[in-house]
Structure 1
Amino acid sequence: MGKLSLVLGAVLGGLATVFAQSISASTYAPIPTIAVGPPVNNATGWRVESFGHGAYMVTDNQYNGIFLVSDKGVIVVDAPPTLGHRLLHAIGNTTRTPITHLVYSHAHADHIGAASLIGASPQPKVTRIAHRLTKEILADLKDPGRPLPDVIFDDTYTLRVGNQTLQLSYKGLNHQPGNIFIYAPLQRVLMVVDIIFPGWAPFAYINQAEFVPGVLAAHDEILAFPFRHFVGGHLTRSGDRADVVRGKAYLDDLKANCADAIALSARDGNSLSAGPVLAAVDRADPGNAWAAFKTYLDLVTTYCANVTTEKWLGKLGAVDVWAFENAYAMVESLRIEWNVLGPFGVQPGV
């Protein structure tokens, strides 16, 4: 081994040690009771929750999907890779009825990346159903783990298999194009993925939302359903109407706090005033427009994150974990989608 390799090895080893120490030293607020769900079976790694009348949620307490058992076949919604083969085991331990249909909630691999396992030989072939936009995304990606759907729709689609019914509908862009609402009317079970996380704050950047206004609108669209049980695709438990109301209140509050931060930055004489901040950046990094924008955005985002966290800590799980990232996503959405531009908006005429 050459001297350079030894040096690089020592440097990388040192960085790994520092990184490990920083992880072990990193602590977040305790998880509140509202975020805690039933444990998974240690032997199997999954848990099945019954909603009655043949409707079930299966979860590993990180990801979840649903399945409906009819007298003609099983309908499965989503196939998360973290469950993988365990999803088939969970269904097989619940019923001997074969899987006949697989519904894709949307195209993201973390929710349907194990789709190719369902309907693979020697199982019976399954019919795959998704929104047209989901098929278009998957056709571009050409991922063998996510086979193209056989049936697509634009607005609504009613799937009937024996004595079970699922109503599928598309309300427009929110988390991702093609992300659908999945409703079982008999059991009053609604599944909408990556919008609400029962008992928890959203994942980073409002769960990587492609259109934040659509995510906020989706909360009202969800509440328009007469559901009793809610499945959000992630984490420790199923939810109810109170979880949706709580999730909406969190995002509404985040939006209001971020709008306040932007408004303050457009005024003189406070700690968020943009003028002195931008002048200081220009002195330190003259002509570097990106440095100016980053400093400004970090300032208002940090304010919004801190105000929101102070109110919501202990009311939802992990509010502090993605506080900055979620505030950043909201600040940027306010600026570029809601036209709340603060000091970068249209200025008064001279």
Structure 2
Amino acid sequence: MRFSLASVLLSVAWLACAHSNSVTTYAPLPSTASGPPVNSEGFRVQSFGEGAYMLADGIYQSLFFVTPKSVIMIDAPPTTGENILAGIRSVTHLPISHLVYSHHHADHIGAAYLLANKDVTIIAHELTAYELSLTPDAHRPPPHVTFKDSYTLRVDNQTIQLDYKGPVHDPGNIFIYAPKQKVLMVIDIVFPGWVPFASLAEAQNPTMFIKAHDLILEYDFDYYIGGHVDRAGVRKDVLIQQDYIQDVYNNARTAILLSNSPPNATNPLSASTILGPIEAANPDNAWAMFAGYVDTLAQYCANVTTEKWLGKLGGADVYTYSHCEALVESLRIDYGVLGPFGVQPS
């Protein structure tokens, strides 16, 4: 018996409701957050021309290229599952010859085992191979071919450039570019029409996540595949998210600087105003004090940022707080904006 992704999500939502007396209601999504619907089987195939296709299930996206003799598959999300093959078969019955891993995370390549066989060559960055070796998983077979900086995959009439530019999301996350079709795929960085997933999309290195936007814009692309949500993106989507992230950065930085200023009627973020009540309620509990400090700054950042972006990007009221929290911490430890925890003038 087969279940569509929509039916699974509906069941999860029902279970959440059944175990909660109330469910948070968020702002309506802007129209730019929505893409074309999936078909009755739970997937959608979009052609970018000259043998390049996006395969989407409404939440996750993958990419494939058809040559005269075979198919090159990029990623294998488990939410798409068996529909990966169904999506390819809706275009061609040629066999899969290559499978490229964008990075090691299971939510993007956890269905690789459905495609892997002796005739499929798996390609990934060497750090992706290393990450996979730390948590061996039969659903994510190790790659046969790895590279360090760049790798050009040429199969018949298709050329795909694979570039590593640093840990923009996690170690081994690569830029996947098809110059003929001007398609760029970088997973878990830009979410067209939406704010990123929680905590800068779970980026291990916030500074590289921010830099990734500039790296993306160095490519000449007409279509951008971010790996998530409903639709493909264009250059404008990258620029919009870059502006949003810059606002989060600026507002988080302002919050830290305000916390290092004396308390007054217009500055509720002064460290003494924040920490005094927490210390009184939790004597000698340094973690309670610091958690309350970061939470207050992140909430200020989230309030200011959300006020501007609500209605412009989907989920602005869902995940902006988590991005603010991540950048308050990153500004402290990566950028050296320490506020009241830095060396104070005598």
Structure 1: distance between partners of 2:237 and 2:273: 42
Answer yes or no: is the 8 Å Cα contact 2:54–2:64 preserved in 1. yes
Corresponding position of 1:12: none
Residue by residue over 1:91-124, the C-alpha shift from the partner in whole angstroms, topping out at 9 and shown as x without a partner, is 011111110000000000000000111034xxx6
| Cα offset, 1:279, TM superposition | 2.2
Identity %: 54
Matched, 1:30 2:28: yes
Structure 1: distance between partners of 2:79 and 2:232: 18
Residue by residue over 1:114-138, the C-alpha shift from the partner in whole angstroms, topping out at 9 and shown as x without a partner, is 0111034xxx620000000000000
Structure 2: distance between partners of 1:39 and 1:328: 33
Corresponding position of 2:215: 221
Amino acid at match of 1:36: S
Matched, 1:303 2:300: yes
Matched, 1:167 2:161: yes
Which structure 2 residues correspond to residues 201-350 of structure 1 after superposition, within 5 A?
A: 201-269=195-263, 270-348=267-345, 350=346
Which structure 2 residues correspond to residues 33-112 of structure 1 after superposition, within 5 A?
A: 33-41=31-39, 43-112=40-109
Consecutive aligned runs of 4 or more in structure 1 exceeding 6 Å deviation: none
| Cα offset, 1:18, TM superposition | 8.0
Amino acid at match of 1:299: T
Amino acid at match of 2:22: S
The count of residues paired between Structure 1 and Structure 2 equals: 329
Residue by residue over 1:144-179, the C-alpha shift from the partner in whole angstroms, topping out at 9 and shown as x without a partner, is 100000000000000001000100000001210000
Structure 2: distance between partners of 1:17 and 1:149: 41
| Cα offset, 1:323, TM superposition | 2.0
User: SS in structure 1 opposite 2:138?
Assistant: coil
Structure 1: distance between partners of 2:328 and 2:109: 30
User: SS in structure 2 opposite 1:152?
Assistant: strand
TM-score (norm 1): 0.92
User: SS in structure 1 opposite 2:318?
Assistant: coil
User: SS in structure 1 opposite 2:253?
Assistant: helix
Amino acid at match of 2:158: Q
Note the residue ranges of structure 2 that are not aligned, 5 or more in a row: 1-15
Corresponding position of 1:10: none
TM-score (norm 2): 0.93
Residue by residue over 1:313-334, the C-alpha shift from the partner in whole angstroms, topping out at 9 and shown as x without a partner, is 1111110011211111111111
Answer yes or no: is the 8 Å Cα contact 2:279–2:289 preserved in 1. yes
Structure 2: distance between partners of 1:127 and 1:60: 25
Which 10-residue stretch deviates more, 78-87 or 271-280?
Answer: 271-280
1:34–1:17: structure 2 CA closer, same or farther, 3 Å change rule?
Answer: closer
Structure 1: distance between partners of 2:18 and 2:125: 46
User: SS in structure 2 opposite 1:251?
Assistant: helix
Amino acid at match of 1:33: S
Amino acid at match of 1:297: V
- Please, what is the CA RMSD of the aligned residues? 1.3
Structure 2: distance between partners of 1:17 and 1:323: 24
Structure 2: distance between partners of 1:153 and 1:243: 30
1:17–1:50: structure 2 CA closer, same or farther, 3 Å change rule?
Answer: closer
User: SS in structure 2 opposite 1:97?
Assistant: coil
Amino acid at match of 1:293: F
Answer yes or no: is the 8 Å Cα contact 2:102–2:187 preserved in 1. yes
| Cα offset, 1:336, TM superposition | 1.1
Corresponding position of 1:153: 147
User: SS in structure 2 opposite 1:259?
Assistant: helix
Corresponding position of 2:21: 21
Matched, 1:136 2:130: yes
Matched, 1:181 2:175: yes
Residue by residue over 1:218-265, the C-alpha shift from the partner in whole angstroms, topping out at 9 and shown as x without a partner, is 100100000000000000000000000001010011000000011001
Note the residue ranges of structure 1 that are not aligned, 5 or more in a row: 1-15
Amino acid at match of 2:31: T
| Cα offset, 1:56, TM superposition | 0.3
Amino acid at match of 2:175: F
Structure 2: distance between partners of 1:22 and 1:320: 18
* Greater Rg over alpha carbons, structure: 1
Structure 1: distance between partners of 2:296 and 2:20: 29
Structure 1: distance between partners of 2:181 and 2:17: 51
